[in-house]
């Protein structure tokens, strides 16, 4: 990892929101980030265990002071019930990916060995193409992606980081 990549990881922040499951909430939260010039790198939104509420996980890179202002402003939004930034908090972080990789008779066995080593799942095989599903920590997915690039990634999508505080702390 280069020093630039190391710095980017250091400036990367993961923020969880518990929000009312209503139209327009996502737009209002995103506007708070945009007004401060903060780009959202990854965004995951889904209904929570209670369908009245949704969980948002936003990953963004930037200045911690600006981020603190964003969190305070977001917490004031009517439909935002809870906001927490996960830096320094003991939490479980996971990322998921689906990757379509080109194979040939000469490369398929090597790719399958790498898939096994990285604990991935092959979810489809057809026409010299594998669709691979992988879940884990972001850095592990990054390493696997880098290895697959030399074989030819035809298509890929990642979930963005999912995070949950350990213990009784509510995320």
β-bridge mates for residue 56, sequence order? 17, 45
The topology (CATH level 3) of 92-163 is Alpha-Beta Plaits (3.30.70)
Dist. CA 15–CA 126, nearest whole Å: 39
How much is the pLDDT for 30? 96
- Would you state the structure tokens that stand for residue 115, as one six-digit string? 């898939």
Model pTM? Answer: 0.81
Note the CATH architecture for domain 3-89: 2-Layer Sandwich (3.30)
Per-residue pLDDT of the chain (171 residues), as tens digits, is: 444 444 445 588 999 999 999 999 999 999 999 999 899 999 999 999 899 999 999 999 888 899 999 999 999 999 999 999 988 788 899 999 999 999 999 999 999 999 999 999 999 999 899 999 999 999 999 999 999 999 999 999 999 889 988 998 777
Residues of the chain with CATH 3.30.70.260: 3-89
Residue extent(s) of CATH 3.30.70.1150 domains in the chain = 92-163
């Amino acid at each position: 990892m280069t020093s630039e990549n190391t710095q980017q990881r250091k400036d990367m922040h993961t923020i969880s929101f518990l929000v009312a499951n209503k139209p327009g909430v996502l737009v209002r939260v995103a506007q708070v980030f945009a007004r401060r010039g903060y780009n959202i790198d990854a965004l995951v939104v889904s209904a929570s265990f209670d369908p009245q509420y949704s969980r948002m996980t936003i990953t963004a890179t930037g200045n911690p002071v600006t981020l603190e202002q964003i969190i305070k402003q977001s917490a004031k939004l009517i439909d935002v019930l809870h906001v927490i930034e996960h830096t320094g908090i003991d939490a479980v972080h996971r990322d998921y990916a689906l990757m379509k990789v080109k194979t040939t008779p000469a490369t398929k066995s090597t790719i399958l060995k790498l898939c096994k080593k990285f604990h991935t799942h092959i979810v489809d095989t057809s026409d010299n193409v594998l669709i691979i599903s992988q879940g884990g920590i972001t850095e592990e997915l990054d390493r696997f992606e880098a290895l697959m690039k030399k074989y030819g990634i035809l298509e890929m999508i990642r979930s963005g980081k999912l995070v949950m505080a350990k213990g009784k702390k509510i995320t």
